Chains A and B, each alone.
Chain A
Amino acid sequence: METMAILFLGVLAIATAFLVIFSKNTVHSALWMVGNCFVLAVLFLMLNSQFIAILQVIVYAGAIMMFILYAIMMLNLRREQDEGDPRKNLVTGRILLVLLFFTGLVIMGVGFSPIALKGRMASQAVAQFGEVNLIADYIFSEGLIPFELVSVLLTAAVVGAVYIAKKN
């Protein structure tokens, strides 16, 4: 049952990803991307991490995609400009190389995944996992410095964005 659900969601995720690439209209691309974010959020839910799932919806689908949509609408890119059909430049040599590389990655991922596990978890821990408290404890004890660095990064990004936008 769960395998079926994961496979279904996986197919959906890959299909939406392909639709992002092959939509002629930039807004349609962005919309399929929202769908992709949503499917990923459901996958995160299935991995018991509610908090990250809703964060995915809020941050990706809610904020970033909204922002991208705003930019697209502001630039008024209704039709693809001077690119033509995206399907035209589909197959080139380097793409095949990249695909082969990732096929290898898939095989390795499937083969080596059991090694990465430290052991089966207790059912108590499963229920606890994904709760906000777990992440909060980590952030404010061990992960404090990276967390603060992330805030510095965000501030830098805001300053940079404002500077670029103000330049002309």
Chain B
Amino acid sequence: MIDFFIIPVVKLTIIFSICLFLIAYATWLERKVLGHIQLRYGPMRVGWHGLLQPIADGVKNFFKEDVVPDNADKAVFVIAPVISISAAIILLAVIPFGEPIHMFGKEITLYIANPSIGILFILGFATLGSYGTILGGWSSGNKYGYMGGLRASAMIISYELSMAFAVISVVMMSGSFSLVDIVTDQETIWNCLRQPVAFLVFLISGTAELNRTPFDMPEAESELCCGYNVEYSSMKFALFFLAEYTHMFVFGALVTTLFLGGWHGPWLPGVVWFFIKTFLIVFACIWVRATFPRLRYDKVMKLEWKFLLPVAVLNLVATGGVMLFFI
């Protein structure tokens, strides 16, 4: 009873609430970092250095009027943000946050599930999450939203490939799809040193999958005036927003797990190392957003099909060759 019900439920509650708290504060972090990079302060008013800003935003979004456009596809319009957020949050289930800890005479693992197909689970559900974007754009009955949705689907079809190839070369090194196995495999040397090319390809295509600048094709403010979420308001918009930041957090966690040695690190406990690394990746995401302008749409496609994908495939072949002849 305790092993099969109470411990998982408590673990689920704690992990999800901590993660959702961090995700809410990722919005604050983004505004703050963007502000300081642009020589501004960012939010300062609500609470000390704007620390209560996420809560204020949440309250504001909750009480705003919920507008559904007249020529929208009502059912799809309502369901799109739900798809987006649920497919994003489910990804937290398979991320190993730290090494197993001992508490109350029991060994407690710091992940909710460790399926043998963990990384495939993440790839699959990350793709499902983009259905929310696509359907949200399509169902708004708005040309900008429509273009945003179209671009989102083209992006996800393209960048999924190089991302999967980068992941597969890591899986080849560790011989398992399970994220926990991948982390334990990196105890001596991190994968970013063993697989630098895959690391870079994963970073670039991951940023593209997150739909963040410089690859934010679906929302491209200056071209499509926010693309897929033009017509969204109130809580529905907040859900899209939250899904985007959840994806960013998961992306950071995934880079940490796959390439930066997960919870491994000297002196500090594993969980702390994990969150430090994740924070650094999230910071890098924001930093990149603040630095680079958006690429043109055809250049984005060119980058994927003519550069990233061949590089990822060559890296895969090279990894196979090295493993065959030297290990």
A and B in contact, CB less than 8 Å: yes
Interface residues of A (CB under 8 A from B): 25, 27-28, 31, 34, 50-51, 54-55, 57-58, 61-63, 66-67, 69-70, 73-74, 131-132
Residue of B nearest to A131 (CB): B116
Q: How far apart are B224's CB and chain A's nearest CB, in angstroms? A: 15
Of B22-30, B146-154, B263-271, the one with at least 4 CB within 8 A of chain A: B146-154
Query: Are B123 and A66 in contact (CB-based, < 8 A)?
Result: no
Given contacts A54-B120, A54-B124, A66-B127, contact A73 B153 (CB under 8 A): yes
* Residues on B facing A (Cβ under 8 Å): 73, 76, 115-117, 120-121, 123-125, 127-128, 130-131, 134-135, 138, 146, 149-150, 153-154, 156-157, 160, 177
Chain B residue contacts of A51, Cβ below 8 A: 116-117, 120
Partner of A58, one of B127, B130, B154: B127
5 closest residue pairs by CB, A with B: A62-B127, A57-B124, A58-B124, A70-B153, A54-B120
Write the nearest CB–CB distance from A163 to chain B, whole angstroms: 17
- What's the nearest-Cβ distance from chain B to residue A139, in Å? 14
Q: Measured between alpha carbons, how far is A28 from B134 in the docked complex, in Å? A: 13
What is the CB-to-nearest-CB distance from B208 to chain A, in angstroms, rounded to a whole number?
Answer: 15
Once the chains are docked, how many angstroms separate the CA of A9 from the CA of B73? 27
Inter-chain CA distance A8–B154, complex, in Å, is 35
Complex Cα distance, B254 from A142, in Å, reads 35
- A62 and B146 within 8 A (CB): no
Residues from chain A with a CB closer than 8 A to the CB of B123 are 58, 62
State whether B115 touches A50 (Cβ < 8 A): yes
Q: Are B116 and A62 in contact (CB under 8 A)?
A: no
Q: Contacts A51-B117, A62-B127: A70 and B157 contacting too (C-beta < 8 A)? A: yes
Instruction: Judge whether B76 and A31 touch: CB under 8 Å.
Output: yes
CA separation between A62 and B122, bound complex, in Å?
12
Is there an interface contact between A27 and B127, defined as CB atoms closer than 8 Å?
no
A27 CA to B124 CA, complexed, in Å: 21
A132 near B117 with CB under 8 A, answer yes
